[in-house]
Amino acid sequence: MEERRPPLRESLASLDKLQLVAVLALYLLGMLSIYSAGAGRALRGGELALRQGIWGVLSICAFLVVLHIGYERFFSLAYRIYAGALVLLLGVIVLGLTVKGAQSWFNLGFFRLQPAEFGKVALALVLGKHLSRFPPNDGPSFVGGLLLAAASGVLVLLQPDAGSALVYGIIAFAAIVVAGAPRKYSTGLILGGAALVPFAWFFLKDYQKLRILVFIDPWRDPLGAGYNVIQSRIAIGSGGLFGKGYMNGLQSKLRFLPEPHTDFIFSVFSEEFGFVGALLVLLLFGLLFWRMLEAGLRSKDIRAKILVAGIAAWMWFQVVESIGMSIGLLPITGLPLPLMSYGGSSLLALSIAFALIQSVYISTLKSYE
Amino acid sequence: MPDLRSTSNRRLKMLYALIFCSFLGLAAGLYFFQIMHSDRYTHLASNNRLRMIRFPPVRGELFDRHGTPLAVNVTTFDIMGYPLDIERENMVETLAALLSRHGIPATGEELGASLKKQYGPPYRVVRIVGNITLSQMADLVADPEFPQQLFPIPVWRRTYPAGSLAANVTGFVGEISEQELRTLSDSGYIGGDLIGKGGVERQHEAMLRGTPGEEYVEVDARGRKVKNLSVKQPGRGVDLLLSLDLGAQRLAVDLMKDYKGAIIVMDVKTGEVLVSYSSPSFDNNLLAWGVSSKEWDALVRDPANPMMDRTISGAYPPASTFKVLTALAALEEKVVNTSTTFRCSGSFKLGPRTFRCWRRSGHGSVNLLSALQNSCDVYFYQVGLKLGIDKLMEWGDLFELGRPTGIDLPGEVSGTIAGPEWKQKRLKEKWYLGDTVNYSIGQGFLLMTPIQIARMYAAIANGGILVQPHFFSTLGQNSVTLPVSKKNLEVIQKGLDYVVRRGTGRHAASFGVTVAGKTGTAQNAHGDDHALFAGYAPAKDPKYVAVAMIEAGLHGGSIASPMVGEILSYLLVPESRGR
C-alpha cells in the first residue's frame, strides 16, 4: 500500500485552519501569561517567555516534519516508536537511580527533555494500530491491549509521576472504548479503577495524600499544602468579570501564587483577564476539541479514530484538571495546562500530536473511488 | 467493518459530549468564584492577613582542640518589618533619618537596596537594618518617631576571636547570595540567611547551621498581631571541636612574619591537622559582619591573594622534598640498594645537556643515605633515569599525588603529577629524558600542595599509612596502607634523620626535639626561589609532621627548617614554650 506523499505546500494549504487558529491563539495567550507570571520574580519573565518562544519555533519545525511524513507512515512504525518511548522512559528511571533522587527528564545541556510527554503520543499511536488490528471484543485482545498500554503507564508511575500516569490511563481507556470494546468491558474498567483507589492511597507519597486532603478541606493546612489552593482561588476570584488588567495581577506579582508559570498559569491569566478571559480560553479549547474530534469522525480509518480519541482524551484531562485544580474543584496534580503552561517537552509533544491529527484531517479531504 | 466504524463514531461523539459537559462545569465554577463571590476574594486578596516571622537558627560554635573559641555568636538586634508595611508608607526614608540621628550611619538608598535582595512573599517579615547593639536598640525604641509597624528581634552574629590567625581554617559566614539561594532552595534557606562562605564554616555548614524557627501570625490591617497561628522554636546547630591548636597556630603566625607562604602541622597517625596557616591572612570578622563591595574587591584583587588558603590551594614544585619518594621507589623497585654509589662531580651530562648539582664542587662518591643527607642532585638524576618516568609516576600515584587529599576544607586543589601524557596535551611536546631528570628531584612540571607534602611525609614517618587529613573527624576516615616494606622505610627515615643531624637541615635541630626531615628549594620562574622544609618529630617515634613553604624564602635549609623545628618543639616539648 505504497502511497506517494503529497508535497508539503499542498498539505499546508489543506490544513484545518480553525484548529490551527485555536492552537496558535492559546499558545500566544500562554506566552503573555508566562511573561506576566515571571515578572514578579526578579524580572525573569522575559527570560521564561524567550525560552518558551524558542520551544515554539522548535515545535513548529516538528509540526511541519510530522505533517510532511503523514500519519500513515507513523502507524506503520507505531510499534517501534512505542518501543523507543519505553526505552526512554526506562532510561530516566535508571538515570534517576544513578544520580540519586528521582527525576523525570534528561538534561540536554541548555534544556530538559521529559520522555513522559512524548510517551503520550506514542501510546495513542500504538493503541490505534494495535486495537484496530486486534479489536478488544474478546477477553484476550482486550487484556492484550491493556497490557500494551500498562507497559508505559507503569514506567511513568515508577518515575514516580502519578499525574502523568493518570493521563496514560485516560488515553488507554478512551482508545479502548473508541476501538469498540463491549460495554461490559468498559464499565468493568471503571469499576476496577474505582476499586483500586483505596489501595492506591497506600502507594501515594505523604505530600500527595496531603494534596488530596487539602482538596477536601483547604483550610485544614492554610499555611502549607492548602496554601496553594487558597491563594490560587483568591487570584481567580479577585479577577472578577474583566480582570485586573494585563501585568496587574497582584497575587502573582507579590508572589502569593506558587509555581505561577507552570502549574498555576491559568490563575495568573484569569486574575488579569477575569471571567471574560477565562471563558475565551474555554471557548478556544472547545473549538480545538471540536475540530480534533471532527477529523476523527470524518476519517474512514479506524486507527485514526482511536488515535484522535487518545489524543483528545489526554488533552481534555489535562485542561480540566489544570483549570479545575486552580479553582480548587479538583486536587492538585501538577499537570501542565496544554499550550499555555511553561514547558518545552509538553509543547513539542502536543505539536507532534496536532500534526498527526491535521494529517488525518487532510487525508479525509482526498476523494475516494 | 462498517458497524465498527459507526460504533467508534458514536463513542467519539460521546467523548465530545463529555468534553462539552465538563467545560460547562468549569465555566459554572469560574462563574461561581469570579462573579458570584468576586467581592469576597477581592477582599481576601487585599487583606492577605498572613504574616510570618522567622527566627534565624543559632549557629554551632567552633573551638580549637583545647576548647579555645574560634567562632562564637554574640547577640545583636535586627529591625524587622513586613514588605507591605514598608512599601505602603515611606518608611525606609523615615527610618534612615531616625538612625542617622541616633548615630547609626544609614541612607534610604542603602536600606532599599538591601531590602530588594531579600526576595520573598509579602507575608514574610524582612530585615531592614541589622547589627544594632542592645544599647543602640534601647535608644531607638525610646524615640517616639520609631515606626510602630517595625519591631526588633534578637539575632546571633558571628565573631571570630582568633580573627586572622586562623581565618583560612574557620572561614567566615555571610549573607546567602542569590545564586546560592537558587541552588539550595530545597534546603529551606531564604534571602537574608547567613551561610558558611569559606573554610570549616562552609564545609560543615549542614552541621553548624541549625534549624530556623518560624512564627505564623494573623495581623490586622495595621500589621499588628491578632493571634498566633503556629510557633516553631529555632534549633541550635552542632558545636565543633576542631583539631587545630591555637597556641601552635599563633606561633606559626609569629614565625611566618611578613613572608608569604604556608605552615602546616599534622598528626602523623590520625591525620588531625594542628596548625594550618596561610600567609598573608585576612580578617574574617570584617567579612562576617558585612563589607562594602569596594572592600571586598580590594581583598579579592590583592596580588598577595590573602583569600587563598596556600596550605591546600597553593600548588608548588615539591623540589628536594620529593627526593624521598624517588629514593623509596628506587629501593622498592630494587633499582638501587643502600650500598649502590654514584659519583657526583658537581654536574651530570645527558647527551648535549648538562644538569648541575646544587653544590658546584660536587659530593664525590655518594650512596642513598649521604645523597639524602646532602640533597645530592646528581645521585637522584641517575636514580631517576634508572627508574624511568613511568615508575616515578606510578609511585606518585600510589601516594595519591595529583589528587586532593580530601581534607575537610573547600577549595583544595589537586596539584599535578605531570608526566609524558600531560606534557603532550598541555605543551604539545615530547617527553625527554631530561624531563625525567628534573622530575626525580621534584622540579619541572610536578606540583604539590603543602598538605600533600605533609601527608607524604606522614606516611614515611608512620610506617606507610596514607592518612586522611582533617580538622573535624567524622565517621569513616579512610586511611590507605601503602605496599612498602618496613625495611626500606627505615632506610629513608635514617636518611631524613641524617639530614637534620649533619646535613642540609641542621637548623631544625636546635630546638630540643629530634627532627627528621628534608629541605627543598623550589625554582620560581617569577622571582626568588621558594624555601621548603618537611619534617617530623620525634625522629625515633614520630608524632607530628610539619611542612613550611616560604615563597621567595631562597633557602629551605636556613629559612624553613628552623620554623619546622621550633613549632614541632612547641608541640612536643611544652617546657620549651615562651623561651
A26-63 per-position pLDDT tens digit: 999 999 999 988 875 544 778 889 999 999 999 999 99
With respect to residue B479, please indicate whether it lies within any of the assigned structural domains: yes
**Per residue in A214-254, pLDDT tens?**
666 666 555 555 677 888 888 888 888 998 888 887 677 66
Q: Which of residues 227-286 of B touch A (CB under 8 A)?
A: 229-230
Does residue B424 sit within a domain?
Answer: yes
CB-based contact (8 Å) between B142 and chain A? Answer: no
What number of CA atoms fall less than 13 Å from residue A282's CA on the CB side? Answer: 24
Question: Is residue B218, in this structure, part of any structural domain at all?
Answer: yes
Nearest CB neighbour to A289, from listed B19, B27, B121 = B19
Predicted local confidence at residue B221, as pLDDT: 43
The number of C-beta contacts closer than 8 angstroms across A and B is 136
Among B225, B241, B257, identify where a domain stops: B241
Minimum CA–CA partner of A174 in chain B: B15
- What's the CATH number where B478 sits? 3.40.710.10
User: Distance of CA B402 to CAs A219, B364, B406, B422, B483, Å?
Assistant: 59, 35, 12, 12, 19
Beta-carbon separation of B30 and A236 below 8 A: yes
Q: What are the distances in angstroms from CA A348 to CA A79, A161, A336? A: 21, 19, 13
B188: closest CA of chain A, how far (Å):
14
Mean pLDDT of the A125-140 span: 93
Handedness of CA B458, B463, B464, B470 (dihedral sign): negative
Q: What's the CA gap between B50 and B225, in Å, rounded?
A: 10
Q: Are residues B320 and B236 in the same domain?
A: no
Residue A223 cell numbers, joined: 499555611
- Cα-based distances in Å from B44 to A228, A270, A277, B39, B275: 14, 16, 21, 9, 60
Residues B407 and B404: their CA atoms lie apart, in Å, by 8
Rounded Cα distance, A4 and B496, in Å:
87
Q: Which of B187, B219, B241 is the last residue of a domain?
A: B241
Position B252 in a domain: no
User: Is the separation of the CB atoms in A275 and A282 below 8 Å?
Assistant: no
Average pLDDT over residues A327-352: 91
Question: Which among A223, A278, A300 has the least Cβ separation from residue B34?
Answer: A278
Let me know whether B325 and B414 are in one domain: yes
The residues, ordered by sequence, that sit 6+ positions from A359 with a Cβ below 8 Å of its Cβ are A11, A66, A67, A70, A71
User: Which residues from chain B sit within 8 angstroms of residue A136, using beta carbons?
Assistant: none
d(CA A363, CA A70): 9
Subunit contact A223:B48, Cβ cutoff 8 A: no
Give B127's strand partners.
B80
Q: H or E element: which one contains B215?
A: strand B213-219
Secondary structure (DSSP) of A236-282: HHHHTTT-S-TT--HHHHTT-SSSTTTTTHHHHHHHHHHHHHHHHHH
Q: Tell me, yes or no, whether B333 and B234 share the same domain.
A: no
CA distance to A146, A153, A179, B16, per residue, from A172 (Å): 7, 9, 10, 17
Residue B279 CB-density burial (10 A; 0-12 exposed, 13-18 middle, 19+ buried): buried
How is residue B382 written as a grid cell?
641517575
CA B561/CA B305 separation, integer angstroms: 24
Three-state DSSP at B577 gives coil
User: Which residue from A minimizes the CA distance to B39?
Assistant: A238
Residue of A nearest to B22 (CA): A320
Q: Determine, for residues A309 and B122 on separate chains, whether the beta-carbon distance falls below 8 Å.
A: no
Grid coordinates belonging to A310: 487518545
Per-residue tens of pLDDT for chain B, all 579 residues: 457 888 999 999 999 999 999 999 999 999 999 998 888 887 777 666 566 677 778 899 999 999 999 999 888 888 888 776 776 667 788 888 888 888 888 787 878 777 777 655 555 677 888 878 888 888 888 888 888 778 788 777 889 999 889 999 999 998 888 788 778 766 778 777 888 999 999 999 989 998 888 777 765 544 556 667 678 888 889 999 999 999 999 999 999 988 999 999 999 999 999 999 998 999 888 887 777 777 888 888 888 888 899 999 999 999 889 999 999 999 999 988 888 888 888 888 888 888 888 888 888 888 988 998 888 999 999 999 999 999 999 999 999 999 999 899 999 999 988 888 888 888 888 888 888 988 999 888 889 999 999 999 999 999 999 999 999 876 456 788 899 999 999 999 999 998 888 888 888 888 888 899 998 888 877 778 889 999 998 988 999 999 999 998 877 668 888 899 999 999 998 877 765
Tell me the shortest Cα–Cα distance from A279 to chain B, in angstroms.
7
Check CB contact under 8 Å for B19 and A178: no
Instruction: Report the percentage of chain A scoring pLDDT > 70.
Output: 88
Written as one letter, the residue type at B26 is: L
Residue B460 · residue B329 · CB < 8 Å: no
Pick from A306, A312, A324: which is nearest to B26 by CB? A324
B345 and B234 in a common domain: no
How far is B462 from B466, CA to CA, in rounded Å? 9
Instruction: Give the residues across from B227 on adjacent strands.
Output: B218
Q: Is residue B28 part of a domain?
A: no
- Give the one of A233, A254, A279 whose C-beta lies nearest to B121's C-beta: A254
Q: Are B459 and B467 in contact (CB under 8 A)?
A: yes
* Cα(A131)–Cα(A144) distance, integer angstroms: 9
Residues B357 and B443 in one domain: yes
pLDDT at A1: 44
Element (H, E) at B297: helix B293-301
Segment A142-179, tens digit of pLDDT: 999 999 999 999 999 888 888 899 999 999 999 999 99
How much is the pLDDT for B63?
A: 94
Cell, residue A165: 500516569
Helix (H, G, I), strand (E, B) or coil at B429: coil
Report if residue B41 sits inside a domain: no
- Supply the DSSP string of B479-502, one letter for each residue: -EE----HHHHHHHHHHHHHHHHH
- Whether residues B237 and B359 fall in one domain: no
Domain membership flag for residue B287? no
The H or E element containing residue B63 is strand B62-63
Q: For residue B327, is it within any domain? A: yes
Q: Measured between alpha carbons, how far is B472 from A130 in angstroms, rounded to an integer? A: 63
CATH code at B92?
3.90.1310.10
Q: Which of residues 42-61 of B touch A (CB under 8 A)?
A: 42, 44-45, 48, 50, 52
Do A275 and B31 lie within an 8 Å CB cutoff? yes
Which pLDDT value is given to residue A278? Answer: 96
Query: Of B190, B217, B241, which residue constitutes the final position of a domain?
Result: B241
Question: B332, B331, B433: which is closest to B372 by C-alpha?
Answer: B331
Q: At what angle do helices B323-332 and B486-502 cross, to 10 degrees?
A: 150
Are the beta carbons of B122 and A254 separated by less than 8 Å? yes
Which amino acid, one-letter code, is at B7? T
Q: Chain B partners of A329 at a C-beta cutoff of 8 Å?
A: 25-26, 29
Mind telling me how many Å the CA of B48 is from chain A's nearest CA? 9
Residue of B nearest to A251 (CA): B45
Rounded Cα–Cα distance for residues B517 and B457 (Å): 8
Strand-pair partners of B262: B278, B549
Q: Do B333 and B222 belong to one domain?
A: no
Out of B5, B26, B230, closest to residue A282 by CB:
B26
Closest residue of A to B47, CA-based? A234
Tell me the CB-side half-sphere exposure of residue A268, using CA atoms within 13 A: 32
- Rounded to whole angstroms, the Cα distance separating B219 from B216 reads 10
User: Cβ A327–B33 below 8 Å, yes or no?
Assistant: yes
B9: chain A residues, CB-CB within 8 Å: 297, 305
What is the structure's pLDDT at B152?
A: 83
What is the rounded distance in angstroms from the CA atom of residue B440 to the CA atom of residue A290?
A: 81
User: Which chain A residues are Cβ-neighbours of B16 within 8 angstroms?
Assistant: 289-290, 293
Note whether B354 and B210 are same-domain residues: no
Q: Looking at the structure, do residues B221 and B354 belong to the same domain, yes or no?
A: no
| Residues B224 and B314 grouped into a single domain | no
* A309 contacts B12? CB cut-off 8 A: yes
| Joined grid coordinates for residue B412 | 583544595
Q: Tell me the residue range of the domain where B562 lies.
A: 309-542+556-576
Give chain B positions within 8 Å (CB) of A275: 30-31, 34-35
Using an 8 Å Cβ cutoff, are B159 and B74 in contact?
yes
The larger pLDDT score, comparing residue B45 to residue A339, is at A339
Q: Cβ A302–B4 below 8 Å, yes or no?
A: yes
Contact assignment for B38 to A270 by CB distance below 8 Å: no
CA pair distance A293, A305, nearest whole angstrom: 8
Query: Do the Cβ atoms of B119 and A42 come within 8 Å?
Result: yes
CA dihedral A188, A192, A193, A195 (to 10 degrees): 140
Indicate yes or no: CB of B15 within 8 angstroms of CB of A256.
no
Q: Which residues of A163-202 are buried (b: 16+ CB within 10 A; e: fewer)?
A: bbbbbbbbbbbbbbbbbbbeeebbeebeeeeeeeeeeeee
Positive or negative torsion for Cα B173, B178, B184, B188: positive
For residues A90-110, give the mean pLDDT. 73
Residues A342-359, mean pLDDT to the nearest whole number? 95
Find the CB nearest B22 among A278, A300, A320.
A320
User: pLDDT band for position A11 (50/70/90)?
Assistant: confident
Q: Are B118 and B192 spatial neighbours (Cβ–Cβ below 8 Å)?
A: yes
For residues A151 and A123, what is the distance between their CA atoms, to the nearest angstrom?
10
Cell triple for residue B530?
621558594
**Which pLDDT score, from 0 to 100, does residue A43 have?**
47
**Per-residue confidence (pLDDT) for residue B542, from 0 to 100:** 94
Contacts of A297 in chain B (CB under 8 A): 9, 12-13
Contact: A178, B12; criterion CB under 8 Å: yes
Measured at the alpha carbon of residue B159, what is the angle toward residues B156 and B162, in degrees to the nearest 5?
155
Q: How far is A305 from chain B (nearest CA, A)?
A: 7
Q: How far is B213 from chain A (nearest CA, A)?
A: 15
- Residue B23 contacts residue A282 (beta carbons within 8 Å): yes
* Mutation for testing the B interface, residue in A207, A250, A254 having most B CBs under 10 Å: A254
Considering the domain architecture, whether residues B233 and B351 belong to the same structural domain is answered as: no
Cα–Cα dist B465/B475, whole Å: 18
**pLDDT number for residue B89:** 62
Query: Distance between CA atoms of A19 and B413, rounded to whole angstroms?
Result: 59
| Total number of domains constituting chain B | 2
CB contact under 8 A, B19 and A312: yes
Q: A238–B41: do the CB atoms touch at under 8 Å?
A: yes
Nearest CB among B26, B119, B230 relative to A320 is that of: B26
pLDDT value at A292 more than 60:
yes
A49/A31 Cα distance (integer angstroms): 6
Phi and psi dihedrals of B10, rounded to 5? -60, -40
Query: Burial of B414 by CB count in 10 Å (0-12 exposed, 13-18 middle, 19+ buried)?
Result: middle
- Amino acid A2: pLDDT: 47
